[in-house]
Chain A
């Protein structure tokens, strides 16, 4: 049970990563791999501030803010200096590796003994339930687990609503149009390059926020924790699309969250069945690869069938 709750909670935390990936990859059609560095950046900044006694909320917000700056840097490289998009992300990501080490001062910061957002949630939960374990649906659940599972999804729902509202403002609508048709955006008098910079800043703020929360949940920040995260996020977005479709903004946002949670559950189950954790990234990459080529293969098969039918 605790394993299941853990998977759910991490799924919700990483849904912020999925949302960030959705913003860059889907809304802006920008394959931004800054994410691998900015998720760690969020964790690193939050961790070092927590160690230095900052209040958890402020430390978490600063983590997100740092991610925003990292995203903007990639945006400026790609848009103002016209550097290849993928390369812009790689440059920022590579620089972030050193920066993250500098921020943390070492490769790993334990947070077990710090006052974190999770710790605060746990205290709150303890006051609320008045005991160490709670029985939910016939299961005995630790207050720590339950508090996290209540707090995180609440946070995610708020983040989703804010994101949804933002993308329906004048600015947000211009940003969505930019990925769709940048020529049209220019013709309507909006600076499409600035829109992309803003979009990447937003995307990486979400991703860094995810990192900051993840560090506090798992109890440490590690300089390696970003590796493979872009593909994680993509996998979640793809699952979300399959679940709820992409036609509307609201569906796509909800889909990214659902995709992330479902993906984490699948991973937990697979690990439980004895999957070697080291193979996880390979399998995830294979999954994304399959999801990317499958539509093309089925379209080709359909064309071939049509052709055969027409020439029979």
Chain B
């Protein structure tokens, strides 16, 4: 389904700010597999998702999606195969447009946009039906500007928009991180329901070890632009949040050791 073959990306190459965002990442995601991505801050999780979404061109490697080589496709073109929900609840919707108009845009994802009415009767009816399932009372406010809604509401709506036209791949980048606990819970449960219902292939980055342990059928951990470990099947089912926290702790100790060693070497030889 999704295939990354030794994908590399360096930001600000050749400057003092050089950052190696991705270092030869290989990853295969099968049809209808729900993969959770964890990793420390700056480990390259967002960069991984952005590389797949086509936010920037990668330096090296190949990205295949649904049997097609999309490595050189522009971001908007890849969107015909990809649904996305961002960390910032403001990123996924157009604030001054109404709920119905935002959904009308999502209804045409990956299709030509013509001079037909955006909010047609069918779009409105279908939007109402989908929004009603959220139980947020938004189905009666379809003409409200989305900008007036809360982050949790906007994130739930973005999720519905991303999955209206069944995407070959769903990308979720810490999409509950900016929400209050109650909204975060609502949104993650909605996510799980939709992924299961439509049997979507999904990559979900999360900061929450509880979420990482509970959801998905595969877990990968990133570190310094590489995939450090990768578990699925029974191993994934058995994994608990505490174990993941221990992994992070271990990593942190290794890092400290690394830094300590580097300093020692520096003192000795410079």
Partners in one complex: yes
Interface positions of A (Cβ within 8 A of B): 166, 168-174, 176-177, 180-181, 183-192, 247
Is B109's CB within 8 Å of the partner chain A?
Answer: yes
B108 touches A176 (CB 8 A): no
From A166, A176, A184, A189, give the contact of B111 (CB < 8 A). Answer: A189
Given contacts A170-B108, A189-B108, contact A177 B74 (CB under 8 A): no
Interface size of B in residues (CB-CB distance below 8 Å):
36
Q: How many A-B residue pairs have CB under 8 A?
A: 91
Residue on B nearest A175 in the bound complex, by CB: B113
Interface centre among B109, B111, B118 (most CB of A within 10 A): B118
Does B14 interact with chain A (Cβ within 8 Å)? no
Can you offer 16 A-B residue contacts whose CB atoms are under 8 A? Answer: A170-B108, A170-B113, A171-B115, A173-B97, A173-B119, A176-B101, A180-B94, A181-B90, A183-B91, A184-B92, A187-B162, A188-B79, A189-B111, A190-B76, A190-B113, A191-B76
Instruction: Find B117's partner among A168, A189, A247 (CB 8 Å cutoff).
Output: A168
Report the nearest B residue to A177, measured CB to CB: B94
CA distance A176 to B94 in the complex (A): 9
Supposing A173-B97, A177-B97, A180-B96 touch, asked if A185 and B115 sit within 8 A by C-beta, the answer is no
A167 to chain B, nearest CB (A): 9
Do B92 and A187 have beta carbons less than 8 Å apart?
yes
Whether the Cβ atoms of A181 and B105 lie closer than 8 Å is: no
Contact of A181 among B74, B80, B95, B162 (CB under 8 A): B95
Given A184-B91, A184-B92; A176-B116 close (CB under 8 Å): no
Q: Please measure, in the bound complex, the distance between the C-alpha atom of A180 and the C-alpha atom of B119, giving whole angstroms.
A: 18
Which residue of chain A is the closest to B143 with respect to CB atoms? A248
B114 contact set on A, CB distance < 8 A: 169-171
Interface centre among B94, B95, B108, B118 (most CB of A within 10 A): B94
20 other contacts beyond A169-B115, A171-B113, A186-B75, with CB at 8 A cut-off? A168-B118, A169-B117, A169-B118, A170-B104, A170-B108, A170-B114, A170-B117, A171-B114, A174-B105, A177-B102, A180-B94, A180-B95, A180-B97, A181-B93, A181-B94, A184-B91, A184-B105, A185-B94, A189-B108, A190-B105
Residues of A within 8 A of B84 (CB): 187
> Considering the chains assembled together, what is the distance between the CA atoms of A120 and B96 in angstroms?
42
- List the B side residues contacting A177 at CB < 8 Å: 94, 97, 101-102, 105
Closest Cβ of chain B to A148, distance in Å, is 32
Decide if B106 is an interface residue (CB 8 Å cutoff).
Answer: yes
Q: A176-B97, A177-B94, A184-B91 are in contact. Are A170 and B76 (CB under 8 A)?
A: no
Bound complex: CA of A166 vs CA of B115, how far in Å?
7
Q: Which residues of B contact A170 (CB under 8 A)?
A: 104, 108, 113-118
- A186: chain B residues at CB < 8 Å are 75-76, 79
Rounded to whole angstroms, the CA-CA distance of A301 and B87 in the bound complex is 34
Q: Is the interface of B mostly helix, strand, loop or mixed?
A: loop
Residue numbers in A under 8 Å from B86 (CB-CB): 183
Tell me, in angstroms, the Cα distance from A185 to B110 when the chains sit together.
Answer: 11
Interface of A is mostly: helix
CA distance A213 to B266 in the complex (A): 76
| A181-B95, A183-B91 known; A188 vs B106 contact (CB < 8 Å) | yes
One of A166, A173, A189, A191 near B104 (C-beta < 8 A): A173
CB-CB < 8 A to A183: which residues of B? 86, 91
Assuming A168-B119, A169-B118, A180-B96, is B91 touching A188 (CB within 8 A)?
no
Binding site for A on B (CB under 8 A): 53, 74-77, 79-80, 84, 86, 90-97, 101-102, 104-106, 108-111, 113-119, 145, 161-162
With A173-B97, A173-B101, A173-B105: A189-B115 Cβ-Cβ less than 8 Å: no
Question: Are the C-beta atoms of A189 and B95 separated by less than 8 Å?
Answer: no
- Give the interface centre of A170, A185, A187 by most chain B CB atoms within 10 Å: A187
Q: How far is the CB of B111 from chain A (nearest CB, A)?
A: 7
* Residues of B close to A185: CB separation below 8 A: 76, 94, 105
**How near does chain B come to A171, taking the closest CB pair, in angstroms?**
5
Contacts A180-B97, A181-B94 given; does A189 touch B110 at CB 8 Å = yes
**Smallest beta-carbon distance B41→chain A, Å:** 22
| Contact, CB under 8 Å: A172 / B118 | yes
Q: Which residues of A contact B92 (CB under 8 A)?
A: 184, 187
Nearest opposing residue in chain B for A174, CB measure: B113
A190 to B161, alpha carbons, bound, how many Å?
14
A178 — nearest CB in chain B belongs to which residue? B94
Q: Name the distance in Å between A241's Cβ and chain B's nearest Cβ.
A: 14
A189-B79 CB under 8 A given contacts A180-B95, A184-B92: yes
| Contact between A188 and B116, CB atoms less than 8 A apart | no
B111 adjacent to A191 (CB under 8 Å)? no
Residues of chain B with a CB closer than 8 A to A187's CB: 53, 75, 79, 84, 92, 162
CB-based contact B113/A181 at 8 Å: no
Residues on A with beta carbons closer than 8 Å to the beta carbon of B106 = 188
Residues of B contacting A188 in the complex (Cβ-Cβ under 8 angstroms):
79, 105-106, 108-109, 161
